[in-house]
Amino acid sequence: MNHWRREGLIEEPEEALVYFGGGGRYEIDDLRTRIVMLDMVKAEVNRMHQQLSVMLQEVVALSAD
């Protein structure tokens, strides 16, 4: 959430409740913001997946020795 605050996607703590709390009324800008946030999560998960794949290859290579 801090990252999204720094990026200007969430300005007030109350805004986070719409995305992470009990929900609420979404306006079109809220939905666009949510799409951007989900894309950021997706990119981070993909990056982590790549790092884990590299680590797995290294472990397998070391185990083969």
Residue ranges per structural domain of the chain? 2-64
CB atoms within 10 A of CB 5: 14
User: Which pTM does this prediction carry?
Assistant: 0.75
Extract the tokens encoding 56: 């797995």
How sure is the predictor about 3, in pLDDT bands with cuts at 50, 70 and 90? confident
Report how far residue 48's alpha carbon sits from residue 22's, in angstroms, rounded to the nearest whole number. 29
| Amino acid residing at 59 | V
Residue 39 CB contacts under 8 Å (≥ 6 apart), including other chains? none
Distance between CA 50 and CA 47 in Å, rounded? 5
Tens digit of pLDDT for each residue in 13-41?
777 888 888 777 888 998 999 999 999 99
